[in-house]
Amino acid sequence: MKKILTLCIVLCAASCILFAGNPDRQGEAGAYELLMNPWAKSAGLHTINTASITGVEAMRLNPAGVSRTMGTEIALSHTFYLVGTDIGLNAAGFSQQVGKSGAFGVSIMAVDVGDIPITTTSQPEGTGSTFSPSFFNIGLSYAHMFENKVSVGVTLRAVSESTSDLNANGFAVDAGVQYVSGDNDEFKFGISLRNVGSPMSFKGEGLSTQLVRDDVTFTFAGRGESFELPSVLNIGASYDFAIDEKHMITAMGNFTANSFSNDNLSAGVEYSMSNLFQIRAAYKYTTGLNSGKSFVQAPVYTGLAGGVSIMVPLNKESEAKLAVDYGYRASDPWDGSHSLSLRMLF
């Protein structure tokens, strides 16, 4: 237990250093796809369930929750991101229990932005050709549970962004802790520190410029400026209110400290019936919007989110289940984000 407390202190100390509060850094990070959540269940809670998230989805928010995988979980998901932009998020994940206390997982996410017309200074209306940028990351997670009360986890993530003549690659680490307490583990507390890693910069032929003078062609190689990853700290808690053996209501709250944008305060509630049907809603508030600074703008998401999950047993003799999750996040402008996930647990 002393080792767990030491890890919590280290995480808190690291977060205090990383999130020292420098408003001049807002908007300077890149690779913001690391903050996009493609999973429907947690998206319906605005990704605030730091303390209670489990399984495959935990690899996106708090890797400590991977340790609470019971058996095997396989998940696929698609998000219609900010409907009207024609952007999609695709994700796949796998988590597996190892022994009585450990679990590992693999998750993949890609952003589909579609085909973009190529324009030049001489052909501003387009050349007739298109290109499609690639935003891709893959994570490998491991988590361990101590005495069925404290879980710790870490995710190692490779990040890639590219076009036909440019690319940028980076590496990020996520770490998290979850603690449960109470006769029925009704109280949960969680901390996660995400997207801590190496700076990224673009390289490739796309940075080269050609200049022709006196029938001689000169090629100048440009250098891309490096950018940081959007590091974020989450601190959350939840409490389960059991109505009876079949019905339960979970209340949760979360604080998110963003190193390159405004912080968030969030609250949510989830109703569960026999773990076969769940409905949830959450609200996220962004701090500092009324600070009087002209460069501080309201986020795209209005703060409202909601979702539903239906879980169907596949076999009476086993605990295998098929789950369908839906999540919605309201936005202004555009028509919000819709996420749909399919999970299999066995």
Q: Give the model confidence (pLDDT) of 160-212 as tens digits.
A: 999 888 999 999 999 999 999 999 999 999 999 999 998 999 998 888 777 77
Contact, 60 vs 77, CB < 8 A? Answer: no
Peptide bond into 117 cis (omega under 30): no
pLDDT at residue 89 is higher than 70: yes
Contact, 77 vs 265, CB < 8 A? Answer: no
Taking residues 34-42, report their average pLDDT: 96
Tell me the C-alpha distance between 70 and 65, whole Å.
Answer: 11
Taking residues 120-135, report their average pLDDT: 88
Model pLDDT, residue 13: 47
* Tokens encoding 131: 């290109």
Tell me the C-alpha distance between 266 and 254, whole Å.
Answer: 5
Contact, 104 vs 136, CB < 8 A? Answer: no
Virtual CA dihedral for 62, 63, 68, 74, nearest 10 degrees? 110
Distances in whole angstroms, Cα of residue 3 to Cα of each of 7, 9, 15, 145, 150 = 6, 10, 18, 13, 11
CA angle, residues 271, 274, 275, in degrees to nearest 5: 70
Identity of the residue numbered 82: L
Taking residues 127-152, report their average pLDDT: 92
Segment among 71-80, 272-281, 298-307 with least mean pLDDT: 298-307
Question: Domain limits at 88?
Answer: 2-345
Segment among 61-70, 204-213, 234-243, 294-303 with least mean pLDDT: 294-303
Q: Give rounded-to-5 percent helix, strand, coil for the chain.
A: 15, 50, 35
pLDDT at residue 75 is higher than 70: yes
Model pLDDT, residue 291: 59
Taking residues 73-91, report their average pLDDT: 96
Contact, 267 vs 280, CB < 8 A? Answer: no
* Residue bearing tokens 């968030």: 264
Overall domain count for the chain: 1
pLDDT at residue 157 is higher than 60: yes
Model pLDDT, residue 206: 81
Taking residues 28-53, report their average pLDDT: 95
| pLDDT > 90: percent of the chain | 64
Burial 212-226 (b: 16+ CB within 10 A, else e): eeeeeeeeeeeeeee
pLDDT-derived band at 217 (thresholds 50, 70, 90) equals confident
pLDDT at residue 91 is higher than 90: yes
By residue count, the chain amounts to 346
**Tens-digit pLDDT profile for residues 301-322:** 989 999 999 999 988 777 889 9
The CATH number of whichever domain residue 292 belongs to comes to: 2.40.160.40
Q: How much is the pTM?
A: 0.88
- For residue 156, give every residue at least 6 positions away whose Cβ sits within 8 Å of its Cβ, in sequence order, or none: 139, 140, 141, 171, 172, 173
Identity of the residue numbered 134: S
Tell me the C-alpha distance between 301 and 83, whole Å.
Answer: 12
pLDDT at residue 297 is higher than 70: no
| pLDDT > 70: percent of the chain | 90
Contact, 299 vs 316, CB < 8 A? Answer: no
Segment among 10-14, 117-121, 278-282 with least mean pLDDT: 10-14
